[in-house]
Amino acid sequence: MDTSIEFNIYGDASLLKEAQNVLTDLESEVSVTDPDSEIYKINQDGTGTLTGNAGDLMQEALEMCRRTDGALDISVYPIVRAWGFTTEEYQVPEETEIESLLPLVDYTKIQYDTATGTVSIPKGMTIDLGSIAKGCGGQLAAQLLREKGVTSALLNLGGNVQAIGSKPDGSPWQVGIQDPTGDTPMMVLSVSDQAVITSGGYERYFEQDGKTYWHIMDPSTGHPADSGLCSVTVVGKDGGICDALSTSLFVMGLEKAAALWQQSNDFEAVFVTDSHEVYITEGLKDCFALTEDHADTNVKVLEK
């Protein structure tokens, strides 16, 4: 999944391997670049079948595209590629190129038959489940570990954290959230049995002519999201939902993201704005703390 992975599991050591296999199996089904993956074949042929966890991932991804009104769009890949994020040969594309690619970005044209797992897409479209795969993978690994009786574990997939139970001593896990403009943790969330998933502009970006361009795209403009946020952390029971939301709330910006939170009951969130203000939703009030270095940060609580 193109990321560093760290698992701390309190239990039988063989479980590490099993949990890792869940991730590699999912990756081999949904990778955009592996010619043997089911998604790769669908992207090549315009049609194909998803099996097992990949099918569930697709269904969840499409649901989240609809729920976020297209702020999440799993067909945004041609845009991501045009900006060079797929090869790290970064560039600012010509506006005409972006305009020619935007018609290919429209998740509503993806046909997915949940009964058979068959997917059909229009010519030229590319499906990329990267914005949600790590969260779903973490969720599946956590599920497996819980079924095997694990009551204490912390899975970290490149900043996508999945907490199982609490620490072995019964106290909550402490998950640091990075300062989007620095290298140190800015705040700490105390959580048990929750996913904590962050999307930040600082994770992958390039600079050109004094401007920063990052890897989270606004599917409506074909440009990197420019919503006034520089990081979004989503906390909830379902890692897949949290991952999808972290990307899409980043695209939406604070106002729309807060409105979506107000209508929902399956997540809480932390927003850091470009001007370094922090907003937390009220459900996190009692498990949130700034680190010492950032103690003077202004934190506002969003209420329902």
Q: Which residues bind ligand ADP (CB under 6 A)?
A: 72-74, 76, 80, 85, 128, 130-131, 134, 199, 203-204, 215-217, 219, 243, 246-247, 251
| Joined tokens for residue 270 | 């932390």
Residue 110: name its binding partner from Mg ion, ligand ADP, none (Cβ under 5 to 8 Å by kind): none
Smallest separation (angstroms) from Mg ion to the CB of 250? 8
Provide the b/e sequence for 286-301 (b: ≥16 CB within 10 Å). Answer: ebbebeeebeeeeeee
Residues 129-168 that bind Mg ion (CB under 5 A): 131
Smallest separation (angstroms) from Mg ion to the CB of 129? 10
Stretch that binds Mg ion, among 38-46, 169-177, 199-207, 259-267 (CB under 5 A): 199-207
Q: What span, in angstroms and rounded, lies between the C-alpha atoms of 112 and 304?
A: 35
Stretch that binds Mg ion, among 9-17, 31-39, 76-84, 125-133 (CB under 5 A): 125-133
- The residues, any chain, with a CB within 8 Å of residue 113's CB and separated by 6 or more, are 119
Q: If you compute the radius of gyration of the chain from its CA atoms, what whole number of angstroms results?
A: 19
Is 293 annotated as contributing to ligand binding?
A: no
Contact 195, 235 (CB under 8 A): yes
Partnered with residue 152 across adjacent β-strands are: 165
- Give the number of other Cβ atoms within 10 Å of residue 1's Cβ: 18
Smallest separation (angstroms) from Mg ion to the CB of 243? 4
Smallest separation (angstroms) from ligand ADP to the CB of 90? 13
Helix (H, G, I), strand (E, B) or coil at 237: coil
Return binding residues: 131, 243, 247
Return binding residues for Mg(2+): 131, 243, 247
Binding interface with Mg ion (CB under 5 A): 131, 199, 243, 246-247
